Amino acid sequence: MAIKMTVERDARTDEFLSVYFQIREGEVGRTLELDKNCLLDLSDTNQAIGLEILGPFSLRKAREAASMYFCPELESIFAVFGHEPQLVQA
């Protein structure tokens, strides 16, 4: 299954409020706070269901907290945030 991304934004201010990455379908058994503003939804069997980002968060802390849940899809999401921004010259 491909990772699905849902973005919630305030239509009035155009600010992003949250981003949710659905890793797999299933019922959420519990939610772990990986870091402030970074939540991991797990099934009853501890499979990663989704990752929600509500604002600024520590990538290092979130990765460390999630490391006990082997999930290549989760690491691919974190990898996107771990890339250094590229400067584009005009």
Per-residue pLDDT reduced to its tens digit, 16-67: 788 899 999 999 999 999 988 899 999 999 999 999 999 888 888 888 888 8
Q: What is the pTM of this model?
A: 0.77
DSSP state of 70: -
Give residue 52's identity as a one-letter amino acid code.
E
**Size of the chain in residues:** 90
Give residue 16's identity as a one-letter amino acid code.
F
DSSP state of 24: S
Q: Phi/psi at 67 (nearest 5 deg)?
A: -60, -25
DSSP state of 52: E
Q: How far apart are CA 23 and CA 74, in angstroms?
A: 7
Q: How far apart are CA 56 and CA 33, in angstroms?
A: 13
